[in-house]
């Protein structure tokens, strides 16, 4: 397995490399990188690694900027002293999030996850699991932590966005992360079953508990319940009523 380490603390770099090679002698560390600028330069001029270990706070910026500027074609394990970036890390192919100090035990568990997931993805090509899409558009691949779940679309009450992340809420109340935007999801679901309520929500018919007029708009009540009010706009209200009538 060919890996890169993006870490600006030289001692942490050396310790991580030492633990990796002790845990698996087949691991080859291709590069040890200390900044966003250096990482972008390396990724532009070299083939993608099989895996990257990435500190979040680097000397010149957050490492998320690397992946905003360069296509991600490999899984990432983030290492950081802070837990506040956990949710954001899922936007960038994160398969694990290790809080410092990184111990050999934590590292072994992370590598075991990578090996477990190898049957679902081709290393160096994001994940085959995520790219496989759906089987006959009957299911969607979602994530709960570092686990991948084949979620039947019939089990999805609604999709929604929050902090630029797309979630699926199923009828059991589980909240799962989906690596597609709402436009992509809208294009793949059955239009008789799902309706784009607004820019934040794509809901299944079975999830619509009730609705009522609200100053020209339509207020929607869905199950499982959300705390915020959900409205269909005046412009979309006639289309929504037609959809509800079948």
Domain ranges of the chain: 2-128, 134-244
pLDDT for 131: 41
Distances (CA, A) of 133 to 99, 120, 150, 156, 231: 32, 12, 10, 16, 30
As a whole number of angstroms, the distance between CA 200 and CA 207 comes to 15
Q: Residues, the chain, total?
A: 246
Q: Are 209 and 224 in contact (CB under 8 A)?
A: no
Nearest to 69 by CA among 60, 80, 79: 60
Q: Are 79 and 102 in contact (CB under 8 A)?
A: yes
Tokens representing residue 35 in the block? 């900044």
Per-10-residue mean pLDDT, the chain, length 246: 94 94 92 95 91 91 88 84 69 78 91 71 42 54 78 94 90 90 90 94 96 93 94 94 89
227 exposed, middle or buried (CB, 10 Å; 0-12, 13-18, 19+)?
A: exposed
pLDDT for 200: 95
As a whole number of angstroms, the distance between CA 205 and CA 202 comes to 10
As a whole number of angstroms, the distance between CA 64 and CA 234 comes to 38
How would DSSP label each residue in 143-185?
EETTEEEEEEGGGEEEEEEETTEEEEEETT--EEEESS-HHHH
175 forms beta bridges with 169
pLDDT for 90: 63
Nearest to 35 by CA among 43, 25, 47: 43
Write down the CATH number for the domain with range 2-128: 3.40.50.2300
User: Residue 114's Cα: distance from chain center in Å?
Assistant: 16
As a whole number of angstroms, the distance between CA 192 and CA 189 comes to 9
Is this structure's pTM higher than 0.85?
no
DSSP element (H, E) containing 132 = none
Distances (CA, A) of 236 to 139, 142, 171: 27, 29, 25
CATH class for the domain made up of 134-244: mainly beta
What residue has token string 């929500």? 201
């Amino acid at each position: 397995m060919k890996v890169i380490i993006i870490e600006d603390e030289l001692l942490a770099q050396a310790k991580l490399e030492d633990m990796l090679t002790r845990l698996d002698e087949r691991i080859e560390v291709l590069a040890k990188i200390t900044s966003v600028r250096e990482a972008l330069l390396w990724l532009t001029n070299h083939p993608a690694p099989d895996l990257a270990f990435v500190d979040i706070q680097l000397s010149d910026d957050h490492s998320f900027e690397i992946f905003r500027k360069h296509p991600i074609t490999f899984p990432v394990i983030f290492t950081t002293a802070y837990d506040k970036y956990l949710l954001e890390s899922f936007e960038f192919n994160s398969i694990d999030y290790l809080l410092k100090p990184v111990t050999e035990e934590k590292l072994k568990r992370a590598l075991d996850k990578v090996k477990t997931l190898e049957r679902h993805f081709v290393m160096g090509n994001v994940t085959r699991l995520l790219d496989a899409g759906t089987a006959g558009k009957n299911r969607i691949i979602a994530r709960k932590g570092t686990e991948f779940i084949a979620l039947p679309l019939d089990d999805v009450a609604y999709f929604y966005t929050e902090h630029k992340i797309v979630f699926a809420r199923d009828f059991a109340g589980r909240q799962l992360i989906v690596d597609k935007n709402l436009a992509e999801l809208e294009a793949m679901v059955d239009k008789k079953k799902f309706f784009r309520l607004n820019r934040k929500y794509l809901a299944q018919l079975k999830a619509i508990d009730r609705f009522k007029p609200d100053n020209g708009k339509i207020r929607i009540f869905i199950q499982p319940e959300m705390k915020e009010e959900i409205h269909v706009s005046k412009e979309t209200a006639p289309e929504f009523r037609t959809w509800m009538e079948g």
